[in-house]
Structure formats: C-alpha cells, structure tokens
Structure 1
C-alpha cells in the first residue's frame, strides 16, 4: 500500500532546542501513525545516521475521548489539529 498523505514536523523540546523529526502518516480518516526520527550522535563521526526512535498512533477516537473527559470549552484548544500537534509536542518534551 502507498501512503501519500504525510505531514512532517520538526519539534524542539521544552528543555532542549535539538529538533526531532515527526512524520505523520494518515492511515484512514483522521487516524495517524506517527514515526519519530532522531540523529544517532554518540560515538559516530559525520555523517550522522538518522534512526527511528519511536512510533505511536493518534486517532480521532482518542481525541474525542480526551475532549469529552476534560470538559474544556475552548473550540480552538479542542480542535483535532491542535490535539495532533499537542500529542507530538508532549512526546517530544518527554525525550529531554
């Protein structure tokens, strides 16, 4: 199967400005597979190797479950697009 609907984010962390690459692959509807890539830097001279360090899913069902349980009222803060970016940023912050 060929997946063409792919978005790429480069995110820095709350404590570290090093950027990590997040590729969001739309599986179907509003379900994404997120692949996380980073440079392997310890003990390796240039050129650096890019390795996949993690993989997780973000789904519309997860968003709806979190949205309904939080009770938040702001439409912008609760948009699915915001949720997707927030999940990626939260993941990136945990890497530091």
Structure 2
C-alpha cells in the first residue's frame, strides 16, 4: 500500500508538472475504486493544481472521493479550495457552500 501511494504521489506530481491534472484525477478515481488511501497528500497536491485552473467542480469531486475513502480534509485541503474560489471571477456560491 505504501509503495502504491508513493507511486500515486509521483504520478500526480508529474501530471501537474505537465498540465495533465485530469489524467491524474482519472487515475486517482480508478485507484480509489480498488484500494483505500491512507494519505491526504495526493489529494492536496491535485487540489492545489486544479485551483490554479479554477476547476472547482473537479475539486468538489475530489472532496467526495476523500469522504468515501474516509480521509478527513486538512487545512491544506481547504486552503486549496479557497485558492480556487479566490481565483474565480464569478464563483457559484451554492457550489462553494456545498464543499
């Protein structure tokens, strides 16, 4: 399990570096359907990368995935979400409240 999480962290880092965040999201969704994550770091890295692209919907889906994995969000997780909202020109208030 630890090796898989290290691999996932590396994959997310490379995906974010190459602007392929959605590939990392799909990989994370696939891996989460097969195993339980024990670290929130992978999610946080991806949330911060998606925040730079103002992709609140995908961030919301990552929050749902974290809940299913029974991973509590950290302050870094919420900071990434707030970063996304702060970058948006016209954020959907209802979506913000639901996160």
- TM-score, normalised on structure 1? 0.27
- TM-score, normalised on structure 2? 0.26
Higher helix residue share: 2
Higher strand residue share: 1
